[in-house]
């Protein structure tokens, strides 16, 4: 909501559903008239004219042969803002919530409606805008998104760009009704906000709990509307969705029930996100500081054993599970994109791509695997920077590929992290970004943070050129182990008997999140890493990181539990589970922004005595 002084100076009233519907209809009608008058493109469809896999609930007739183009926003390059800062911009906030609500209310058959753009990701599993064949390849993921693939970052970049341009176009239409030109300017500059969960794991109340939000209307008054960020209401929900989502009328987070009675549990959401702050901050810092190759950065498929830090996809999966909880939409890739917070989250994923690229300007998208496949590609085939990223069209006859979108300016946006930097000087950019990453997410920043749980110490590193060791736990497990999403929780110290107390425990140090679905194909192993130095120093009182001190302590105190839908699952049900402790020698020069890391050294005996621990013979 706005600052209180705004409410004091303008009359407040509630917009009725009828008035709101008429307003949206008027905008849509006006836009349609302008398009027809200009002989503009009539947007194509998911529908019978497009393919044979179509469900009647999303039918609309194709009116010509032209397609939805992914251009990004075309009003110049503007920053995406962090959500907490974005909310303070009254003009952009007012246009944003109206535009988001408007596209959510569009007919679900409209290919640029919220439903259709979100549905590209997973369900309803139909062909979008004539992209690819009429059916997906056998045994491939039937959505268009890529998982466990080197294309994970770049495909997601384009999906966010299409959503952003759709949202901004609607904001421009709405701003045309305002007499104050500041709103037209705000619409031109509007970009999708990002949620920097590595700095603030709990989003502001305007995103997760406020049922109503205020906005400045065209006549200058303050109005109230249903908050389009807390959920998306299907109209109607597709009965063919994977259960229980085929009966949920709206998207939910940590739901208290199922179907029409499902409601988000805000307290549970806040508690889980807060409990993950240390873990997610350290994972973000170490990914940016330590991961050097595109395969290790891009996706969560188990690597060659040389990595000791998380991939971008592993970070994505952790946030998705933390937000969704048991039976929440974000916990399942088939329907996650329908939750409005998905887009704020993915905007931050894209920001991390930009930060990592700035730190590694010479690393390009490399050849790799298609992972789970997609609507357009079979599983486990070779892909590279020239692979078409369907369904995102550059022109009517061509699709974008990864090599074309490493610069965000081409898609009309940037991030505040790059303000004032000479992007033509990669060395200067690298140094500036390294300093920002260290300040935002590094151990020094976290050690000086307040004690509210928003950001505590996450790791330990030397403050001079003297070497120390970074301790990490690598967790690997199969995506199909439990027929859906699950997590492995790591502890250093006593483990509660009640699963409901796991994340609140003083001994909880982090998680390995497997974000999947019963319809996600494959039995691949995925991996993630939990960084232990912060827990060792702050919770266990271990002042030295030397293996002689740490290895015996971890052998006696490390443990883990497998959970699915917030319930304990026996580790024997995940036979692929493999947990290994690793120490990496590191030094931090007084003049360096980031540490230097040596070769990782495995310590299998630390975990060998427990089910799922890697033994020295493996």
d(CA 302, CA 40): 48
Three-state DSSP state, 223: strand
* Residue in the structure block whose two tokens are 């079979």: 378
d(CA 296, CA 278): 22
The structure's pTM equals 0.87
Res 10: pLDDT: 31
Backbone angles phi, psi at 215, to 5 degrees: -150, 155
Q: Assess contact for 485 and 332: CB atoms under 8 A.
A: yes
Q: Assess contact for 114 and 103: CB atoms under 8 A.
A: yes
Partners of residue 583 on adjacent β-strands? 471, 601
Q: What is the largest CA-CA distance in the chain?
A: 77
d(CA 320, CA 167): 22
| Gap between the terminal Cα atoms of the chain | 55
Backbone angles phi, psi at 93, to 5 degrees: -60, -45
Three-state DSSP state, 473: strand
Strand 508-514, strand 486-492: pairing: antiparallel
d(CA 583, CA 593): 21
Which residue stretches of 79-132 are H helix?
Answer: 83-86, 90-105, 114-119
Q: Exposed e or buried b for every residue in 466-505, given b needs 16+ CB within 10 A?
A: eebbbbbbbbbbbbbbbebbbbbbbbbbebbeeeeebbeb
d(CA 100, CA 339): 12
d(CA 73, CA 211): 29
Provide long-range contacts, Cβ within 8 A and 24+ apart, for 25-32: 27/102, 27/170, 27/173, 27/174, 27/177, 28/102, 28/106, 30/173, 31/173
Res 302: pLDDT: 85
Three-state DSSP state, 581: strand
d(CA 241, CA 232): 15
Tokens of residue 474, six digits: 């690598």
Q: Which helix (H) or strand (E) holds 216?
A: strand 212-216
**What sign for the dihedral angle of Cα 106, 112, 114, 119?**
positive
Res 617: pLDDT: 55
d(CA 132, CA 118): 18
Other beta carbons within 10 angstroms of residue 63's beta carbon come to: 12
**What sign for the dihedral angle of Cα 480, 486, 487, 488?**
negative
Give the list of residues 6+ apart from residue 274 with CB closer than 8 angstroms, or none: 201, 202, 453, 454
Three-state DSSP state, 36: helix
Partners of residue 475 on adjacent β-strands? 528, 579
Chunk the chain into consecutive blocks of 10 residues (it has 618) and report each block's average pLDDT, rounded to whole numbers.
34 36 39 33 34 37 64 97 98 99 98 98 97 95 97 99 99 98 98 99 98 97 98 95 92 89 94 97 97 96 85 98 97 98 99 98 94 96 97 97 96 98 96 97 58 38 65 97 97 96 96 96 93 87 89 96 97 97 90 90 95 76
Three-state DSSP state, 143: coil
Per residue, the 3-state secondary structure of 490-514, as one string, reads: EEECCCCCCHHHCCCCCCEEEEEEE
Q: Assess contact for 301 and 148: CB atoms under 8 A.
A: yes
Partners of residue 602 on adjacent β-strands? 582
Q: What is the DSSP letter of 102?
A: H
- In the chain, the domains with their CATH numbers are 4-426 (1.10.1280.10), 459-606 (2.60.310)
Q: Assess contact for 506 and 535: CB atoms under 8 A.
A: no
250 φψ region: left (φ > 0), alpha (ψ -120 to 50), beta (else): beta
Nearest residue to 490 via CA among 203, 352, 283 = 283
Q: Assess contact for 402 and 170: CB atoms under 8 A.
A: no
Three-state DSSP state, 160: helix
Give the list of residues 6+ apart from residue 19 with CB closer than 8 angstroms, or none: none
Q: What is the DSSP letter of 361?
A: T
Helix axes 341-359, 312-324, angle to 10 degrees: 160
């Amino acid at each position: 909501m706005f600052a209180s002084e705004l409410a004091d100076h303008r009359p407040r009233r509630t917009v009725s559903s009828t008035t709101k519907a008429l307003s949206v209809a008027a905008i849509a009608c006006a836009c349609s008239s302008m398009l027809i008058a200009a002989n503009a493109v009539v947007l194509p469809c998911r529908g019978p004219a497009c393919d044979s896999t179509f469900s009647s609930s999303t039918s609309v007739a194709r009116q010509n042969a032209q397609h939805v183009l992914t251009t990004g926003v075309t009003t110049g390059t503007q920053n995406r803002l962090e959500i907490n800062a974005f909310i303070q911009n009254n003009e952009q906030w007012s246009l944003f919530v109206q535009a988001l609500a408007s596209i959510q209310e569009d007919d679900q058959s409209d290919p640029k409606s919220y439903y259709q753009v979100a549905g590209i990701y997973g369900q309803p599993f139909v062909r979008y805008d004539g992209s690819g064949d009429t059916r997906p390849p056998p045994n491939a993921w039937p959505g268009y998104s890529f998982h466990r693939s080197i294309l994970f970052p770049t495909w997601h970049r384009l999906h966010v760009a299409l959503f952003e341009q759709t949202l901004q176009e609607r904001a421009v239409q709405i701003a045309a009704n305002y007499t104050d030109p500041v709103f037209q300017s705000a619409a031109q500059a509007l970009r999708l906000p990002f949620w920097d969960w590595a700095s603030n794991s709990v989003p502001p109340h305007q995103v997760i709990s406020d049922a109503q939000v205020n906005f400045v209307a065209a006549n200058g008054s303050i109005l109230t509307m249903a908050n389009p960020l807390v959920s998306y209401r299907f109209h109607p929900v597709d009965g063919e969705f994977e259960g229980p989502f085929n009966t949920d009328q709206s998207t939910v987070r940590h739901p208290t029930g199922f179907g029409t009675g499902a409601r988000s549990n805000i307290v549970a959401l806040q508690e889980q996100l807060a409990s993950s702050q240390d873990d997610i901050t350290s994972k973000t810092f170490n990914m940016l500081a330590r991961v050097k190759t595109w395969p290790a950065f891009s996706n969560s498929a188990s690597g060659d054993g040389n990595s000791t830090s998380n991939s971008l996809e592993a970070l994505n999966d952790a946030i998705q599970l933390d937000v969704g909880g048991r039976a929440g939409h974000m916990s399942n890739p088939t329907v996650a994109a329908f939750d409005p917070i998905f887009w704020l989250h993915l905007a931050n994923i894209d920001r991390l791509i930009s930060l990592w690229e700035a730190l590694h300007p010479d690393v390009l998208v490399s050849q790799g695997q298609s992972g789970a496949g997609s609507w357009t590609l079979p599983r486990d085939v070779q892909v590279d920077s020239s692979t078409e990223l369907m369904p995102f069209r550059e022109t009517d006859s061509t699709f974008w590929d990864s090599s074309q979108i490493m610069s965000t300016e081409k898609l009309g946006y940037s991030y505040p992290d790059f303000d004032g930097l000479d992007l033509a000087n990669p060395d200067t950019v690298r140094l500036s970004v390294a300093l920002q990453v260290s300040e935002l997410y590094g151990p020094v920043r976290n050690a000086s943070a307040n004690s509210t749980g928003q950001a505590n110490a996450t790791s330990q590193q030397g403050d001079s050129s003297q070497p120390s060791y970074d301790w990490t736990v690598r967790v690997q497990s199969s995506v199909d182990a439990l027929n859906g999403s699950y997590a492995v929780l790591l502890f250093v110290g006593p483990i509660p008997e009640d699963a409901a107390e796991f994340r609140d425990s003083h001994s909880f140090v982090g998680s390995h999140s497997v974000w999947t679905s019963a319809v996600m194909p494959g039995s691949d192993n995925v991996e993630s890493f939990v960084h232990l130095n912060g827990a060792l120093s702050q919770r266990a009182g271990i002042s030295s990181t030397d293996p002689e001190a740490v290895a015996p302590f971890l052998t006696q105190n490390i443990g883990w539990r497998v959970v699915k839908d917030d319930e304990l699952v026996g580790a024997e049900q995940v036979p692929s589970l493999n947990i290994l402790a690793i120490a990496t020698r590191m030094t931090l020069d007084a003049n360096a922004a980031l540490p230097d890391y040596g070769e990782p050294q495995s310590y299998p005996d630390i975990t060998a005595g427990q089910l799922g621990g890697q033994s020295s013979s493996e």
